[in-house]
């Protein structure tokens, strides 16, 4: 019996490894988005609930045969849609190893290796981003749950300062808190606030300038019942709020300052770009994704909180079967109880690249973004944002040509980017975030855009 269990696992690992090898070896040659044939192949999965099981090799081969062609090639170099990178080689490999380990990253006794690598990866992240060494770094599914965790701590902290015990008395009679937000705030922040029970009447939206940055003269008078949410890396323009002046004012009034830095916080890792987020280290909490610019596999976000005792008071759990003497166990600091060991991939990516490699990755993506913007201008686009980071927003004077071009490029499979609305104008948005992107990928993508425009214009003659 033991031999058969071992042999089944070994066989599955072997087949899966061969499939993964085959997929990765061809990913740069495949379409960026699946064609109609690949999408129609997905119907092969839609079968009645099986009564009898299927051999694991057949299951995996079915996934490869019909699933692999229907993937979006985000691990290649020409995906510029959502702000995501691919997976670096070590991070991808670590993901495979972590799956084989099947660790429960709950506390040290459930996985010593996960516990150790969370501590080390967290320390490395604080050093890379030049954030306070005393802060806690927690590994969550993404920035949405990072926001939930940090903002829950913020609410607890502000209520506690007003003499109200939220844990004991609940929300019903809690002091009213206000949340000061940019009009360009990311939807993940609003979702997190809704999950925590905040309502729209508690939000104070501040208008933004033409780059999506909070207009400082429009900020309300701060008070000690406020959470100020700032942004590092506007999801369209890539610009950041002025942390250097806004944070000290808010902190002086007793506010909690939280920063949405999903991808923009990684500018701290670059000497060339760190000035864009100067002063951000003075905040109380930060949310950032590893599956964006650090290029780890999904899903991996980080909640970083300066006041870790406050976070612990909100998140701590107690049960006889998980009691422990260690103070900062993941189970007592974060929402999830059943947690995968996602910090292993963060550790692997940082170990593989080093601080110099991560800086080079950020700088390289920013350089390619400028190349994209310059190339688009030569093709007749208006670039609508100051290209300061890894984002380009652009539009053609003819909106019908723009829409047709976007559809044709997406259908071509050469590259992929999407549309957005920026300052009330329909536009295209390109995000350069992958370690795998090369200058050739940028030029090849520009050629695809140029060819689409030429073909549409020729058809119109």
> Distance between CA atoms of 186 and 391, rounded to whole angstroms?
15
pLDDT in tens, the chain (461 residues): 667 777 888 988 999 999 999 999 999 889 999 999 999 999 999 999 999 999 999 999 999 999 999 999 998 899 999 888 889 999 999 999 999 999 999 888 899 999 999 999 999 999 999 999 999 999 999 999 999 999 999 999 999 999 999 888 989 899 999 999 999 999 999 999 999 999 999 999 999 999 999 999 999 999 999 999 999 999 999 999 999 999 999 999 999 999 999 999 999 999 999 999 999 999 999 999 999 999 999 999 999 999 999 999 999 877 655 666 677 888 889 999 889 999 999 999 999 999 999 999 999 999 999 999 999 999 999 999 999 999 999 999 999 999 999 999 999 999 999 999 999 999 999 999 999 999 999 999 999 999 999 999 999 87
Q: How far apart are the first and last CA of the chain?
A: 73
Full strand arrangement of the beta sheet holding 425-431: 382-383, 391-395, 425-431, 418-422
> Distance between CA atoms of 243 and 223, rounded to whole angstroms?
17
Q: What residues are paired with 382 via a beta bridge?
A: 395
- pTM greater than 0.75: yes
Take residue 303 and report the two structure tokens written for it. 């909640």
Residue range 298-357, pLDDT digits in tens? 999 999 999 999 999 999 877 655 666 677 888 889 999 889 999 999 999 999 999 999
Closest by Cα among 150, 82, 176, 175 to 308:
150
Q: For residue 78, what are the CA distances in angstroms to 31, 46, 137, 195?
A: 10, 31, 31, 35
> Who's near 135: CB < 8 A, 6+ residues apart?
126, 304, 305, 306, 308
Residue ranges of domains in the chain, CATH in brackets: 4-70 (no CATH), 93-349 (3.40.640.10), 355-460 (3.90.1150.10)
Residue range 395-431, pLDDT digits in tens? 999 999 999 999 999 999 999 999 999 999 999 999 9
Residue range 165-205, pLDDT digits in tens? 988 898 989 999 999 999 999 999 999 999 999 999 999 99
Residues 233/382, Cβ–Cβ less than 8 Å: no
């Amino acid at each position: 019996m033991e031999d058969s269990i071992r042999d089944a696992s070994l066989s599955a690992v072997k087949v899966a490894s061969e499939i993964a090898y085959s997929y990765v070896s061809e990913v740069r040659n495949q379409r960026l988005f699946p064609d109609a044939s690949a999408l129609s192949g997905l119907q092969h999965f839609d079968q009645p609930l099986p009564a009898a099981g299927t051999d694991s090799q057949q299951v995996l081969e079915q996934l490869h045969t019909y699933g692999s062609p229907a993937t979006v090639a985000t691990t290649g170099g020409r995906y510029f849609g959502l702000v995501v990178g691919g997976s670096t080689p070590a991070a991808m490999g670590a993901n495979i190893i972590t799956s084989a380990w099947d660790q429960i990253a709950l506390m040290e006794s459930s996985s010593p290796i996960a516990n150790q690598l969370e501590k080390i990866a967290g320390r490395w992240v604080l050093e890379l981003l030049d954030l306070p060494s005393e802060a806690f770094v927690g590994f969550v599914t993404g920035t949405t749950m990072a926001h939930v965790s940090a903002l829950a701590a913020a609410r607890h902290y502000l209520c506690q300062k007003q003499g109200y015990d939220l844990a004991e008395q609940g929300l019903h009679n809690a002091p009213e808190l206000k949340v000061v937000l940019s009009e360009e705030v990311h939807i993940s922040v609003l979702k997190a606030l809704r999950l925590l029970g905040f309502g729209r009447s508690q939000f104070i939206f501040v208008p933004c300038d033409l780059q999506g940055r909070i207009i400082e003269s429009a900020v309300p008078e701060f008070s000690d019942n406020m959470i100020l949410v700032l942004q590092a890396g506007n999801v369209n323009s890539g610009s950041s709020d002025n942390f250097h002046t806004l944070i000290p004012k808010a902190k002086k009034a007793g506010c909690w300052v939280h920063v949405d830095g999903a991808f923009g916080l990684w500018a701290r890792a670059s000497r060339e770009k760190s000035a864009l987020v100067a002063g951000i280290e003075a905040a109380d909490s930060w949310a950032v994704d590893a599956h964006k610019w650090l290029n780890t596999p999904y899903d991996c976000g980080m909640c970083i909180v300066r006041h870790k005792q406050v976070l612990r008071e909100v998140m701590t759990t107690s049960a006889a079967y998980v009691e422990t003497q260690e103070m900062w166990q993941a189970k007592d600091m974060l929402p999830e109880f059943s947690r995968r060991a996602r910090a292993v991939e963060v550790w692997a990516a940082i170990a593989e690249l080093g601080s110099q490699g991560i800086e080079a990755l950020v700088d390289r993506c920013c350089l390619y973004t400028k190349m994209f913007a310059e190339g688009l201008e030569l093709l007749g686009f208006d670039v609508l944002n100051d290209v300061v980071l890894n984002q380009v927003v652009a539009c053609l004077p003819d909106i019908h040509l723009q829409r047709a071009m976007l559809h044709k490029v997406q259908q071509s499979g050469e590259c992929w980017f999407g549309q957005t609305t920026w300052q009330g104008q329909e536009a295209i948005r390109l995000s350069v975030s992958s370690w795998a992107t090369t200058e050739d990928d940028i030029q090849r993508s520009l050629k695809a855009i140029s060819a689409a425009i030429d073909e549409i214009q020729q058809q119109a003659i």
